[in-house]
Amino acid sequence: MGKLNGKVALITGGSSGIGLATAQRFVAEGAYVFITGRRQTELDKAKTLIGKNVTAVQGDVANLDDLDRVYETIKKEKGVLHIVVASAGITELATPSTATAEHYDKVFNINARGTFFTIQKAVPLMTAGGAIVTVGSVAYKKGIPPMTVYSSTKAAIRYSVKGWAADLIGKGIRVNNFSPGVTDTPMLDSQHGTQEESDAMRAMYIKMTPMGRLGRAEEMAASIFFLASDESSFTTGIDLAADGGLAEF
């Protein structure tokens, strides 16, 4: 028997990378999952990979109308929501001295604002015993100039979790943040213009990580599963990292 039998979960950004691996893990544990993403083609591929117990809803978390449509779909199909994994996000590189207002607004709107309202709009569908997991990054603990705006959004997410956890504790809903290290996903390649640049960046990240390798999406999904399941029933408001030691020493 799976540890999420009978649970209904929403995973934003569930069409690739950590979100997709999490959706696969949740279904394997008995959950029914709703996944979102901005690209319909990627959502269709993810739905095929997940195989069963999944509904894919195209949408952008930065668009509040899209979020409303996602929750309307969940309400209509299942009527309740037990788990939310706010995984949708983007990584765009720009140093503080070169970042434009457009870059800043785009990254904050998707990562920080999108995550905040993903949670806010989920709460009316959730019941006591529910769990919310935000997906941040250990980058917020580091000073990496090209990732300054991105890291700032992840810091905003981590500290908003403290407020959400305190606000929802009376409703019996736990809220925790998960901070992955550098993980081998398609998002990593999307940050760079050429394969040569991507390979060089991967080599740099591997050298930076004390365990000497990149994380795997399945490893990140395991940590998210822990926070979403009753395995962490006495845990709320925390920041759990899986980063190969990157931010610790």
Q: pLDDT value at position 26?
A: 98
Residue 77's alpha-carbon distances to 58, 165, 223, in angstroms, are: 16, 27, 28
pLDDT in the model for residue 194: 80
Task: Specify the pLDDT at position 170.
Answer: 98
Please give the radius of gyration of the chain, using alpha carbons only, rounded to the nearest integer: 17
| pLDDT at residue 192, rounded to an integer | 65
Is residue 195 scored above 90 in pLDDT?
Answer: no
**What are the extents of the domains in the chain?**
8-242
Average pLDDT over residues 201-209: 92
Question: Residue 201 has what pLDDT?
Answer: 86
Percent of the chain residues topping a pLDDT of 90: 91
What confidence score (pLDDT) does residue 75 get? 98
224-247: average pLDDT = 97
The whole-number average pLDDT for the span 139-149 is 93
Per residue in 78-118, pLDDT (tens digit) is: 999 999 999 999 999 999 999 999 999 999 999 999 999 99
Taking only the tens place, the pLDDT of each residue in 206-223 is: 999 999 999 999 999 999
pLDDT over 70 at 28, yes or no: yes
Would you please indicate which residues are annotated as catalytic (active-site) residues? 150
Q: Which of these ranges, 49-63, 111-125, 183-197, has the smallest mean pLDDT?
A: 183-197
DSSP per-residue codes, 215-233: B-HHHHHHHHHHHHSGGGT
CATH of domain 8-242: 3.40.50.720
- Angstrom distance (rounded) from CA 213 to CA 195: 18
What the block records as the tokens of 17 is: 């990378």
Least confident of 27-31, 114-118, 129-133, 202-206: 202-206
Task: Give the model's pLDDT for residue 72.
Answer: 98
pTM comes to 0.96
User: Strands of 8-12's sheet, edge to edge?
Assistant: 54-58, 32-37, 8-12, 81-86, 126-135, 174-180, 239-242
Residues 150-169: what's their mean pLDDT? 98
pLDDT of residue 241: 97
Give the closest residue to 115 by CA, choosing from 74, 151, 156.
156
The strand pair at 239-242 and 174-180 is best described as parallel
What DSSP line would sit under 22-77, residue for residue?
HHHHHHHTT-EEEEEES-HHHHHHHHHHH-SSEEEEE--TT-HHHHHHHHHHHHHH
Is the pLDDT at 155 greater than 70? The verdict is yes
pLDDT of 224 above 90: yes
Find where tokens 């950004």 sit: 13
pLDDT of residue 135: 98
Average pLDDT, whole number, for the chain?
96
